[in-house]
Amino acid sequence: NTSITGTPSVPPPLRQRWILLAETIMEDTTLRQRKTRAASATPEATSKVASDADLTPGDSRDADPASKTRKRDEDAVAIDMRPPPSWSESLTAAAVMGMLFGMAFYKSHVYEPSSVRGQFLFQRFVLLKVFFGAMGTGSLCFAALASTEQFASIRRRWEASSSSRGWLTGPAVGGLLLGCGMAVSGACPGMAFVALGAGTDGAAYAVLGGLLGALVYGMAAESIEASFLARGPRGPASATYADGSMGVPYRKLALALAGVCLLGCVALEKLVPWEDEVPARLVVAMSEPKCAFGTNKFSLVECPAWPPSIAGAIVGLLQFPAVMFVENALGSSTAYQVFAAISIAPDKERFKYLRTFAKPDPRAWWQLVFVALAAYEAYLCAMDGGDIGGAPGVTPVAALLGGFLMIFGSRLGGGCTSGHGLSGCSLMMVHSWIAVPAMFAGGIAVSVLWHSVGDGFFLP
């Protein structure tokens, strides 16, 4: 590129890039307000805004069959009839949600690599307890919100994930890679930020690997979607949601799922009491009066460990503010994709997938605040308990490789552990019910294989 005078142009300095980004946000907000006012005038105008807003000059979706695959992943930006929520409401809700998420994950100690790897070896059950607790209360929240326009908007936008990929090429392969990455890194996309805040060894490398995975996928997304995802068989994923294919009201299925998950929490607690899985370094602290559950000296904030099922239930309740104030469901892999897209802002026009995420939208960018505050809250909790860096970590190579695999797999499959496991399954999304078993299959396979080679895999 050259300037008008013929001299080579140089990329703008970092400060100027952030100024341009702020101006873009302001211009985007003004444009959306104008389109919203125009859309409210007539139904025809509403339809035009919905169809035109995601196009740029030269785009022609009808002429390009592969363009159908650009209906984005898991909780990515998608054009809907409703205007996006306000930035102030979304970011405020994201901050509160992030701090509660970080505290719950830290107190449950599910973020520790030993909890993740131990679950895949069926030697520890912290992960499954948190998973069941979050899915149970999350399903209850969705059932309560099923008649709201916000909930309907989320389900409409999430249909894009199913329409852009076959069940084998998308959720099955993507979920498998996600599970492999979780076993190798001892983390999941959301947990990695909590582990980072708690000072766990290798967590920074897991996050870095995730960012690299998001960047690589974003750069190759067009060819991956056209040559791989779109060619996969539809099979059991021909219907987007289970309630539609089964002919059963969504609320009934959600309540049934909530009951099964909460009963699962009770059963697991009976079989493996949570006190038996508290990390050895915290046993002495757990004997103090502040951890005497049911007494007047008990302090939920000061106690260094919570029952994983309770912590998971708190995470699941975050679906309520996510739906009402962010108009999205819990997820974390989009944070990696947004950050990766922003980081190469000068080149984003070369990559249509990255361009989607680089465009400011509160329904995607809220995750940046969410994961940042989750890491900060985990740091505060660890500092308060004198437990910074207390959890055994993994090697930098394992963390970097695992982080790459889990985010690349998440983007390929259209969702991460939270997006598919906690949100997609509760939304009755068929793809999620394919991705989650694939995730566990990948994690179990890698864990068993690695553990059989030597005793360095499982962290005590």
pLDDT reported for residue 96: 97
Report the pLDDT value the prediction gives residue 125, as an integer from 0 to 100: 97
Q: What are the Cα distances from residue 289, in Å, to 175, 308, 369, 380, 396? A: 43, 20, 35, 21, 38
Averaged pLDDT in 10-residue chunks for the chain of 460 residues:
45 50 53 49 35 31 42 42 81 97 97 96 96 98 96 90 82 96 96 97 97 95 88 72 93 98 96 94 90 77 92 98 95 94 75 88 94 98 93 95 97 93 95 96 94 64
Gap between the Cα atoms of 259 and 444, Å rounded: 26
What dihedral do alpha carbons 408, 130, 77, 321 form, nearest 10°?
-160
pLDDT for position 457: 57
Could you give the CA distance from residue 405 to residue 403 in angstroms, rounded to a whole number?
6
Cβ atoms of 124 and 114 closer than 8 Å: yes
pLDDT score for 22 = 53
Q: What angle do CA 208, 112, 101 make, to 5 degrees?
A: 80
Which amino acid is it at 53? A
pLDDT the model gives residue 40: 43
Whole-number pLDDT of residue 439: 97
Query: Which residue is associated with the tokens 């973020």?
Result: 111
Quote the pLDDT of residue 37: 47
End-to-end CA distance of the chain: 56
